[in-house]
């Protein structure tokens, strides 16, 4: 009995050791390229960092960098609020749009491959400089809409808090849609997992296609909703043309800002991003959980 | 007579609105209209880019010319080709995206295999941390890395991107690890056990049994990795600054590079920088990706279902 037990333990240990050796590279990489830099960045954020010829000099300033970003800097808070609003506006649009496209592509029709190719194209070509050039030429606004005088008039009438999101929506409409590629795929693969016989049973019981959508299709997409929403928030937040990221990047090299200040802003930005992810999660997780049970 | 007409009407109705078994004409027309409309809006920036890039300077000034240029003008492309220093930056871009992608894909498959196939303490923690690496914004980790590279003299060299990829911390490595995790989870254990009884080592089992079974995951991960590395400009602009230059990096300093080649004071009005040249540069930038996409598009779109990228 005792021997068996010892054997069992060594087997478990052996398995664990082999497992660790497979992920050893990751453990080293995570410590070197994520954990350590993250801690180091946090340390910088509490210091005034000066780059000198023989290295960097740190002067402890407590939370001064944070208070400066929050209370003194006129740009940072405004940019972060703009980012938060844009993200909150974009996520539902991306979700609804990619769901509609996925529902279309889930049908059987001719030229399906062609349309699938079109809707997935932006994933391949979306990069910061390309988007910047296209936006500069006004090629990403919904064609024509923003130039109609009546629409411009309507926007001018709106209160300021509403005007910015609406304007953003009109000028970057296609850009928002361009962020839907991977999400379309995720919806599509969830749709294909739904058992066809459920639809048949519903049709025999007299359910219309409309009812089948609300009662069968939509609930079975709730997990995909959550995954997609989180993915959208993260891609939008990491996109290199994001104004906050650019501001932080420019401050890193600025004489007035410096590495310490940029680090503090990076952490504040991270906190806002987590907050947005939390909101999205609270909003969608309950549905997803209900569905899974 | 009456029944015949009634029958005809019913037939017509079912043709138009469809029946339980097949969709009607009306639905089909609606579907195609919507798809074409959305497809057009979707492709609008690309069409705009392509048409503008073919406009000659006189076409640009002519308000009558919107979508069809009066002549086939490739002068913009010649300029953009020179400004982008195309052969050099293209080679760099290929190198910078393919090498880290190869390493990243292989290392991600190792890590994914270890997580899917072995029981060990702290596995859930590792999975959680892998997700965290996906969420943490790059600017929260990039400065110390840059300073360390600078100290080691690696700043500006391709190693600055290769090293993280080698240690499973490349660009969006987390997604690839999860893809491999998913695809190795569904691999039946019987084969491995048989191989183990025959005395094969763990690494050998991985290389001869697990890897061949996950070929789709390898292909998908590799091409997504190439595309994402190609388009990545935040990390490349920090790590490669002052060293090698990729195509997107050169595009983002297009104006400056143009004015170096064609100083504004000295050239005639037709050689000044205009949006047509900029659009040509942008198009040259995405052209290699477009070629790759149309050659491999089956892999981009179809196998995502097979590899279970959804992570459920």
What is the per-residue pLDDT across A179-233, written as a single tens digit (0 to 9) for each? 888 888 888 888 888 888 888 888 888 888 888 888 888 888 888 889 899 999 9
Give whole-number Cα distances, B16 to A122, B5, B10, B111, in Å: 35, 16, 10, 55
A12, A13, A21, A34: which to substitute to probe chain B, counting the most B Cβ within 10 Å? A34
Q: Is the pLDDT of residue B123 over 80?
A: yes
Contact A26 B143 (CB under 8 A): no
Amino acid B4: pLDDT? 58
Q: How much is the pLDDT for A293?
A: 46
Report the run of H or E that residue B280 belongs to, with start and end.
helix B275-301
Q: Flag whether pLDDT at B128 surpasses 90.
A: yes
Task: Decide if B120 touches A, using CB distance below 8 A.
Answer: yes
- Domain co-membership, B292 together with B163: yes
Let me know whether B115 and B16 are in one domain. Answer: no
Res A12: pLDDT: 83
Q: Nearest residue on chain B to A240, judged by CA atoms?
A: B234
| pLDDT for residue B1 | 52
Would you say the C-alpha torsion B184, B115, A292, A231 has a positive or negative sign? negative
Assess contact for B62 and B285: CB atoms under 8 A: no
* pLDDT value of position B312: 40
Same domain for B256 and B138?
A: yes
Query: Does ipTM top 0.90?
Result: no
Instruction: List phi, psi (to 5°) of A55.
Output: 145, -160
Residue B312 lies in a domain: no
**72-111 in chain B: CB under 8 A from chain A:** 107, 110-111
Contact check, Cβ <8 Å, A22/B111: yes
Tens digits of per-residue pLDDT, B146-157? 888 888 888 888
- Of A210, A219, A224, give the one whose Cα is nearest residue A102: A224
Q: From the CB of residue A109, how many other CB atoms can be counted at a distance below 10 Å?
A: 14
Which band of pLDDT confidence, cut at 50, 70 and 90, is reported for residue A290? low
Please report where in the chains the tokens 């981009």 appear, as a residue: B300
Tell me how far apart the alpha carbons of residues A135 and B138 are, in angstroms, rounded to a whole number: 24
Range name among B52-61, B108-117, B185-194, B222-231 with the lowest pLDDT average: B52-61
What is chain B's mean pLDDT, rounded?
82
Residue at token pair 């024509």: A144
Contact list in A for residue B163 (CB cut-off 8 A) is 33
pLDDT at A246 over 60: yes
Q: Using the predicted structure, report yes or no on whether residue B311 has a pLDDT greater than 50.
A: no
Q: A109 and B28 in contact by Cβ < 8 A?
A: yes
> The domain A64-126+179-292 is classified under which CATH number: 3.40.50.720, 1.10.3720.10, 3.30.200.20, 3.90.1200.10?
1.10.3720.10
Q: Which residue of A has its CA nearest to B143?
A: A41
* B310: pLDDT strictly greater than 50: no
Residue of B nearest to A209 (CA): B20
Contact yes or no for B251 and A273 at CB 8 A: no
Q: How far apart are CA A6 and CA A134, in angstroms?
A: 67
Is residue B233 domain-shared with residue B282, that is, in the same domain? yes
Residues B15 and B104 in one domain: no
Query: What CATH number is given to the structural domain containing B303?
Result: 1.10.3720.10
Rounded distance between C-alpha atoms, residue A153 and residue A4, angstroms: 83
The total number of structural domains that make up chain B: 2
Reading the block at residue B177, the tokens are 């690890």
Per-residue confidence band for B23, with pLDDT thresholds at 50, 70 and 90: low
**Shortest distance, CA B307 to any CA of chain A (angstroms):** 10
CA A261 to chain centre: 25
**Chain A residues 224-243 with a CB less than 8 Å from chain B:** 224, 227, 234, 237-238, 240
pLDDT at A272: 93
What are the chain B neighbours of A248 within 8 Å (beta carbons)? Answer: 139
Out of B54-63, B107-116, B286-295, least confident range: B54-63
pLDDT exceeds cutoff 70 at B117 = yes
Let me know if residue B258 belongs to a domain.
yes
Q: Is the pLDDT of residue A279 over 70?
A: yes
CA quadruple A258, A264, A266, A269: dihedral, nearest 10: -140
> B207 with B96, same domain?
yes
The answer to whether residues B26 and B84 belong to one domain is: no
Chain B environment of A271 (Cβ under 8 Å): none
Cβ of residue B248 closer than 8 Å to a chain A Cβ: yes
B275 in contact with A, Cβ within 8 Å: yes
**Does residue B83 share a domain with residue B47?**
no
d(CA B8, CA A288): 48
pLDDT for A47: 86
pLDDT at B281 over 90: no
Neighbours of A115 (CB within 10 A): 21
Instruction: List pLDDT tens digits, range A72-131.
Output: 888 889 899 989 988 988 899 899 989 988 888 888 778 888 888 888 888 888 777 788
Q: Are B130 and B197 in contact (CB under 8 A)?
A: no
Q: What is the pLDDT of residue B104?
A: 93
Going by pLDDT thresholds of 50, 70 and 90, the confidence category of residue B15 is low
* Closest by Cβ to A124, choosing from B35, B293, B304: B293
Q: Which pLDDT belongs to residue A27?
A: 93
Asked whether the predicted pLDDT for residue B237 surpasses 60, the reply is: yes
Identity of the residue in B121, B147, B169 whose CB atom sits nearest the CB atom of A34: B169
**Element housing A253 (H / E):** helix A243-253
In a domain, B66, yes or no: no
Phi, psi (rounded to 5 degrees) for A42: -65, -40
User: Is the Cβ–Cβ distance between A229 and A91 less than 8 Å?
Assistant: yes
With an 8 Å Cβ cutoff, are B139 and A269 in contact? yes
- B42 interfaces chain A, CB cutoff of 8 Å: yes
Nearest to B251 by CA among A172, A237, A131: A131
Q: Indicate the pLDDT class of residue A275, thresholds 50, 70 and 90.
A: very high
Q: Which residue range forms the structural domain that includes residue B235? A: 79-307
For residues B8 and B109, state if they share a domain: no
Min CA distance, B1 vs chain A (Å)?
A: 32
Do B213 and B284 fall within a single domain? yes
Angle at B246 between CA B242 and CA B249, to 5 degrees: 75
Q: Do A178 and B42 touch (CB under 8 A)?
A: yes
Q: Is it the case that residue A35 has pLDDT exceeding 90? A: yes
Contact B137 A33 (CB under 8 A): no
Q: Does residue B111 sit in the same domain as residue B241?
A: yes
Which residues partner with B18 through β-bridges?
B23
More confident: A255 or A2: A255
Domain boundaries, chain A: 2-45, 64-126+179-292
């Amino acid at each position: 009995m005792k021997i068996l037990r010892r054997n069992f333990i060594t087997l478990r240990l052996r398995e664990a050791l082999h497992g660790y050796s497979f992920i050893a590279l990751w453990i080293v990489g995570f410590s070197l390229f994520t954990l350590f830099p993250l801690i180091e960045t946090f340390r910088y954020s509490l210091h005034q960092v000066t780059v000198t010829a023989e290295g960097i000099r740190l002067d402890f300033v407590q939370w001064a960098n944070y208070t400066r970003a929050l209370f003194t800097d006129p740009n940072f808070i405004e940019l972060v609020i703009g980012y938060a609003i844009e993200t909150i506006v974009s996520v539902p649009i991306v979700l609804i749009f990619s769901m509609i496209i996925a529902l279309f592509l889930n049908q059987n029709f001719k030229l399906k491959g062609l349309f699938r190719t079109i809707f997935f194209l932006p994933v391949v070509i979306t990069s910061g400089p390309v988007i910047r050039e296209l936006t500069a030429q006004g090629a990403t606004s919904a064609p024509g809409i923003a130039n109609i005088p009546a629409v411009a008039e309507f926007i001018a009438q709106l209160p300021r808090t509403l005007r910015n999101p609406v304007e953003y929506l009109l000028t970057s409409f296609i850009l928002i849609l361009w962020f839907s590629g991977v999400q379309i795929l995720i919806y599509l693969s969830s749709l294909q997992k739904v058992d066809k016989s459920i639809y048949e049973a519903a049709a025999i019981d007299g359910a219309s296609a409309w009812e089948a959508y609300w009662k069968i299709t939509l609930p079975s997409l709730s997990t995909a909703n959550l995954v997609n929403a989180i993915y959208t928030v993260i891609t939008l937040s990491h996109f290199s043309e994001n104004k906050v990221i650019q501001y932080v990047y420019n401050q890193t090299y600025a004489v007035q800002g410096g590495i310490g200040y940029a680090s503090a802003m990076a952490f504040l930005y991270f906190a806002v991003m987590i907050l947005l992810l939390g909101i999205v999660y609270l909003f969608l997780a309950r549905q997803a959980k209900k569905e899974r049970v | 007579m009456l029944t015949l007409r009634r029958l005809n009407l019913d037939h017509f109705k079912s043709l138009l609105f469809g029946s339980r078994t097949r969709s009607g004409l009306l639905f089909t027309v609606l579907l195609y209209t919507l798809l074409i409309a959305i497809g057009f809006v979707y492709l609008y920036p690309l069409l705009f880019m392509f048409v503008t890039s073919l406009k000659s300077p006189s076409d640009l000034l002519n308000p009558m010319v919107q979508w069809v240029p009066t002549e086939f003008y490739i002068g913009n492309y010649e300029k953009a080709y020179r400004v982008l220093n195309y052969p050099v930056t293209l080679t760099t871009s290929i190198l910078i995206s393919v090498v880290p992608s190869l390493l990243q894909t292989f290392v991600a498959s190792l890590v994914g295999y270890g997580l899917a196939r072995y029981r060990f303490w702290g596995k859930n923690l590792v999975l959680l941390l892998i997700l965290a690496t996906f969420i943490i914004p790059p600017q929260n980790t990039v400065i110390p890395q840059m300073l360390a590279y600078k100290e080691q003299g690696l700043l500006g060299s391709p190693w600055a991107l290769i090293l993280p990829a080698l240690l499973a911390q490349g660009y969006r490595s987390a997604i690839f690890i999860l893809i491999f995790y998913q695809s190795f989870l569904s691999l039946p254990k019987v084969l491995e056990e048989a191989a183990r009884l025959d005395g094969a080592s763990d690494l050998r089992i991985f290389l001869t049994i697990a890897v061949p079974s996950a070929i789709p995951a390898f292909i998908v991960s590799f091409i997504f990795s190439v595309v994402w590395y190609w388009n990545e400009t935040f990390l490349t602009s920090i790590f490669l600054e002052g060293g090698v230059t990729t195509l997107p990096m050169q595009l983002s300093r297009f104006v400056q590079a143009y004015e170096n080649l064609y100083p504004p004071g000295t050239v005639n009005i037709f050689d000044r920088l205009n949006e047509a040249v900029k659009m040509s540069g942008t198009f040259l930038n995405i052209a290699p990706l477009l070629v790759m996409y149309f050659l491999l598009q089956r892999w981009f779109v179809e196998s995502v279902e097979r590899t279970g990228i959804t992570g459920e």
